[in-house]
Amino acid sequence: MSLLTLDRETGRWSLAGSKATWVVLGLIACLTVAGFLLSDRFGTLRNFSNLFGQAAFLAIIAIGQTLPVLSRGIDLSIGSVIAFAAVLTSGLIDNDPSMMLPVTALVLVLGVAVGMVNATASHFLKVHPLIITLGMAAVLRGVMLVYSDTPVGGTPEDYATFAMGRIMLEEEGLTIDIWSGSGLSLAGVFCLLLYLLVYFFLKRTRSGRNIYAVGGDPDAARLSGISVYRTLLVTYGFSGFCAALAGIYLVSQQGVGSPELAVKAYELDSITPVVVGGTMLSGGVGGVGGTLLGVILMAMLGNLLNFLDISTFYQWIAQGLIIIVAVSIYVERRRRE
């Protein structure tokens, strides 16, 4: 495919790919240049390697949010699922190494189940997912607080491997080490693989294409023989899975799960990279490629502001402005006739 295409209607040449891709790439380039100019620590290999790992958490929740948004919905239960998953993981493992795998599996299954309940309720009660997932968020938060309203349990040191592990190439081959400051972040590599997998799922499988169809026009999808319900199950099941995974990541990183996580509004954080990456809230347009760019942009922004000793408070201002600028550039003007 050529980089330039000619629009037959207007006779104007335009760049291939969506506008969003180019806007975000441009912003990332600006940040990189600014980083090199303003800070001597920014442009180091070590920092880029760190950045790669730091972006993992946002990457996980953002890819989870991408699918519901593509299907013309939204998942606002993500924040509560993260907190619940974290508390449950550390509470159930309770420093028992033999419990690590079963509990992790159980929590992931629970995440998928929560998402499927969201999809089922929204589909059969015909209520917008915004409301359903908001309700679900409240319910889960309550259930979590009933389970424990203080940080509970804990995890063995090995459990930190997921979030903190670094892959290193040594003489005896690839090794994974938790405490090393160098090497590639395991979680970062995991996220890249996850994005690749979901990219192919969305582009090249029927279920993936069905998500675009349902997001584009649910009625048309239904009458084309697509099961809207099954598509939503996949969509919200996946976002629930990612939220649970994000909760596990936090436990892995911090060693313990805290109910306090529920107030951090991660669900709103997850939306920023998605929409900045060009996935439209109106559904059917976008993809995980854009989300990945959005994640990189937000992670770099945080990283750079950090080096410049600018408080995270300003990061919020920048985040809000980026949403406004990006989204108002993407919006297509309504056309008459």
Residues that bind other proteins in the complex, under the rule CB under 8 A: 9, 74, 121, 125-128, 130-132, 134-143, 145-146, 149, 200, 204-206, 209-210, 212-213, 216-217, 219-226, 263, 268, 271, 275, 281-282, 284-285, 311, 313-321, 323-324, 327-328, 331, 333-334, 336-337
Q: What is the identity of the amino acid at 27? A: L
Residues in the chain: 337
Q: What is the identity of the amino acid at 319? A: Q
As measured in angstroms, the least distance from the Cβ of 65 to other proteins is 13
As measured in angstroms, the least distance from the Cβ of 335 to other proteins is 9
Q: Is 227 helix (H, G, I), strand (E, B) or coil?
A: coil
* 80 versus 104: smaller Cβ distance to other proteins: 80
Distance (Å, rounded) from C-alpha 5 to C-alpha 11? 10
As measured in angstroms, the least distance from the Cβ of 258 to other proteins is 15
As measured in angstroms, the least distance from the Cβ of 34 to other proteins is 19
* 177 versus 217: smaller Cβ distance to other proteins: 217
As measured in angstroms, the least distance from the Cβ of 168 to other proteins is 32
* 86 versus 100: smaller Cβ distance to other proteins: 86
Q: Are 102 and 222 in contact (CB under 8 A)?
A: no
**Residue appearing with tokens 């390697």:** 49
* 121 versus 163: smaller Cβ distance to other proteins: 121
* 102 versus 142: smaller Cβ distance to other proteins: 142
As measured in angstroms, the least distance from the Cβ of 182 to other proteins is 33
Nearest Cα neighbor of 61 from 193, 236, 242 is 242
* 138 versus 308: smaller Cβ distance to other proteins: 138
* 37 versus 125: smaller Cβ distance to other proteins: 125
H or E segment and range at residue 68: helix 56-70
Distance (Å, rounded) from C-alpha 53 to C-alpha 161? 12
Distance (Å, rounded) from C-alpha 9 to C-alpha 217? 25
Q: What residues pair up with 161 in beta bridges, in sequence order?
A: none
* 60 versus 214: smaller Cβ distance to other proteins: 214
Q: What residues pair up with 176 in beta bridges, in sequence order?
A: 167
Contacts of 141 (CB under 8 A, 6+ apart): 80, 83, 84, 262
Helix axes 56-70, 228-254, angle to 10 degrees: 170
Quickly count: other Cβ atoms within 10 Å of residue 255's Cβ: 19
Distance (Å, rounded) from C-alpha 151 to C-alpha 83? 11
As measured in angstroms, the least distance from the Cβ of 245 to other proteins is 23
As measured in angstroms, the least distance from the Cβ of 145 to other proteins is 4
